[in-house]
């Protein structure tokens, strides 16, 4: 099997699994208990917090809050800042049209509470500029939230510059860095980030783990009532083994980042070059500012779902931004946001690699995808109409 869906989730690393197992055997006491055995767990927890802080350029480990994942961190960051700022009459939020649903749906909820949300248009190449952000900020803006890197098309936003704009205007800046953490170097201080979300299972850590970084002084609300864990901001006995596994995975990913990036980028470039040769195809996202492992193409005249199923038959696990996988008939909001027409957006393929992939995987994918695309086109009535000239092509030859 070739696993090329690392943007959806990753396999846990042996380092993370070992760290979890040893934690389960040794530090299983309750970190809130006063006896030494509980305090040992508390120390294990704080060591994980320090490890995570040092990987992200966080000044004080107390600015790290452990959550159940990226979605929870996004929800808590956005709801906290918005609801706290509403008291000062600041009810305007700036975000982008291609955020993850954890952000977009949270913003929808706030709109129902009377907030006004501006979603910035995404450039054709999947970029948002600091100038766009500057233009959108108003007197009553309480929060700017833009993702660090897009999960579908892999484009990497100019985060430090967007952060600088927010600092200058006195607006808090949150970034959903779920796709970036463990894959790109992050320094929250140098990049002017006030709040950041990440998720353990996107960098070979355990599922159900995440981090919300919130700079000292940023108002955080507790969304779960209960005990005083996580400085009173996130009640519930900590999942210490999972937290330890996430911290170990993050440390490992950051230590290996340069080497892994070199390897993964080489495979990505070979895929992009090879798949570009398919007629009437187009690469989605930026060619340069792109996540190391992300490949995303639109192939005219096919349905993404059919492509995925046929690739699955050949042992290739990939993803498509398009519809039916997510139970709706709408194509990916991300592909629509960069201006792909509905029809083209339906024929998308995302391959996301990690350092466990091999050059042989790339060879097999480069063999399979063109064959499957050709086959699907050969049985498509729509494609026949295009070839015969009754209907026009939307993507160049
Ligand atoms: C996966 C993902 C999330 C959600 O993270 P979970 O830990 O699965 O809740 C949020 N944002 C982005 C960009 C993602 O890729």
Model pTM score: 0.97
Q: What is the pLDDT of residues 154-206, one digit of tens each?
A: 999 999 999 999 999 999 999 999 999 999 999 999 999 999 999 999 999 99
Q: Quote the Cα angle for 80-85-87, to 5°.
A: 115
Q: Where are the beta strands (DSSP E) in 32-158?
A: 64-67, 92-96, 116-120, 141-145
Q: How far is the CA of 125 from the centre of ligand 1 (A)?
A: 22
Q: Which pair of structure tokens corresponds to residue 36?
A: 């030494």
Residue with tokens 């190449």: 125
Kindly list the protein residues whose Cβ atom lies closer than 6 A to any atom of ligand 1: 69-71, 74, 100, 102, 147, 151, 176, 178-179, 199, 201-202, 210
- Is 70 exceeded by the pLDDT of residue 327? no
Q: Where are the beta strands (DSSP E) in the chain?
A: 2-3, 64-67, 92-96, 116-120, 141-145, 172-176, 195-199, 210-214, 281-283, 294-299, 316-317, 348-352
The whole-number pLDDT of residue 204 equals 98
Q: Nearest 5°: phi and psi at 196?
A: -145, 140
The percent of residues in the chain predicted with pLDDT above 90, rounded, is 96
Q: Catalytic: 142?
A: no
Identify the sign of the CA torsion 25, 31, 32, 37.
Answer: positive
Q: How far is the CA of 36 from the centre of ligand 1 (A)?
A: 36
Cα gap 92→86, rounded to integer Å: 9
Cα gap 275→220, rounded to integer Å: 46
Identify the sign of the CA torsion 386, 392, 395, 397.
Answer: positive
Q: How far is the CA of 193 from the centre of ligand 1 (A)?
A: 18
The whole-number pLDDT of residue 328 equals 61
Task: Tell the residue nearest (CA) to atom 14 of ligand 1.
Answer: 178
- Is 90 exceeded by the pLDDT of residue 16? yes
Mutate to test the pocket of ligand 1, among 69, 175, 182, 196 (most ligand atoms within 8 A of CB): 69
Beta bridge partners of 95: 119
- β-pairing, 64-67 with 281-283? unpaired
Sheet holding 348-352, edge to edge: 281-283, 294-299, 348-352
Q: Which pair of structure tokens corresponds to residue 178?
A: 């779920």
- Is 90 exceeded by the pLDDT of residue 27? yes
Beta bridge partners of 290: 155
Task: Tell the residue nearest (CA) to atom 3 of ligand 1.
Answer: 70
Q: How far is the CA of 220 from the centre of ligand 1 (A)?
A: 20
Q: Which atom of ligand 1 is nearest to the CA of 74?
A: 10
Please state the three-class secondary structure of 123-143 as a single string. CCCCCCCHHHHHHHCCCCEEE
- The secondary structure of residue 320, as a DSSP letter, is -
Identify the sign of the CA torsion 26, 29, 31, 33.
Answer: negative
Q: Which pair of structure tokens corresponds to residue 44?
A: 């294990």
Mean pLDDT of the chain: 96
Q: How far is the CA of 182 from the centre of ligand 1 (A)?
A: 14
Q: How far is the CA of 321 from the centre of ligand 1 (A)?
A: 15
Are residues 96 and 146 in contact, defined by beta-carbon separation less than 8 angstroms? yes
Residue with tokens 């890197």: 149
The whole-number pLDDT of residue 330 equals 78
Q: With CA atoms as reference, report the closest residue to 362 among 316, 321, 395.
A: 316
Beta bridge partners of 67: 210
Mutate to test the pocket of ligand 1, among 7, 71, 249 (most ligand atoms within 8 A of CB): 71
The whole-number pLDDT of residue 264 equals 98
Mutate to test the pocket of ligand 1, among 178, 245, 319, 334 (most ligand atoms within 8 A of CB): 178
Task: Tell the residue nearest (CA) to atom 5 of ligand 1.
Answer: 70
Are residues 157 and 125 in contact, defined by beta-carbon separation less than 8 angstroms? no
Contacting residues for 267 by C-beta, under 8 A, at least 6 apart: 293, 353, 357, 359, 361, 362
The whole-number pLDDT of residue 322 equals 55
For the segment 347-361, the average pLDDT, to the nearest whole number, is 98
């Amino acid at each position: 099997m070739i696993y090329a869906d690392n943007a959806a989730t990753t396999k846990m690393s042996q380092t993370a699994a070992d760290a979890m197992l040893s934690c389960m055997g040794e530090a299983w006491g309750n970190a809130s208990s006063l006896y030494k055995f509980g305090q040992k767990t508390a120390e294990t927890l704080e060591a994980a917090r320090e490890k995570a802080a040092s990987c992200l350029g966080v000044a004080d480990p107390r600015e790290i809050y452990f959550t159940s994942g990226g979605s929870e961190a996004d929800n808590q960051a956005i709801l906290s800042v918005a609801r706290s700022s509403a008291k000062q009459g600041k009810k305007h939020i700036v975000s982008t049209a291609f955020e993850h649903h954890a952000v977009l749906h949270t913003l929808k909820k706030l709109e129902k509470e009377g907030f006004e949300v501006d979603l910035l248009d995404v450039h054709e190449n999947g970029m948002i500029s600091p100038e766009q952000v500057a233009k959108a900020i108003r007197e009553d803006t309480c929060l700017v939230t833009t993702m660090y890197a897009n999960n579908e098309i892999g484009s990497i936003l100019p985060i430090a510059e967007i952060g600088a704009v927010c600092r200058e205007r006195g607006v808090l800046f949150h970034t959903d860095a779920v796709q970036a953490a463990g894959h790109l170097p992050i320094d929250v201080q140098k990049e002017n980030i006030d709040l950041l979300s990440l998720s353990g299972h996107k960098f070979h850590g355990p599922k159900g783990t995440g981090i919300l970084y919130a700079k000292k002084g940023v108002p955080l609300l507790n969304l779960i009532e209960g005990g005083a864990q996580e400085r009173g901001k996130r009640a519930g006995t900590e999942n210490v083994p999972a937290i330890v596994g996430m911290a170990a995975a993050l440390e490992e990913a950051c230590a290996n980042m340069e080497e892994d990036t070199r390897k993964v980028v080489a495979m990505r470039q070979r895929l992009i070059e090879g798949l570009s040769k398919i007629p009437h195809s187009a690469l989605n996202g930026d060619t340069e500012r792109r996540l190391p492992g992300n490949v995303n193409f639109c192939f005219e005249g096919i349905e993404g779902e059919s492509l995925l199923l046929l690739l699955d038959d050949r042992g290739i696990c990939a993803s498509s931004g398009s519809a039916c996988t997510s139970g709706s008939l709408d194509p990916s909001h991300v592909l629509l946001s960069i201006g792909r027409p509905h029809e083209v957006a339906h024929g998308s393929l995302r391959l996301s690699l990690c350092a466990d992939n091999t050059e042989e995987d790339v060879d097999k994918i480069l063999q399979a995808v063109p064959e499957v695309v050709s086959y699907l086109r050969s049985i498509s009535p729509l494609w026949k109409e295009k070839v015969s000239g009754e209907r026009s092509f939307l993507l160049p030859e």
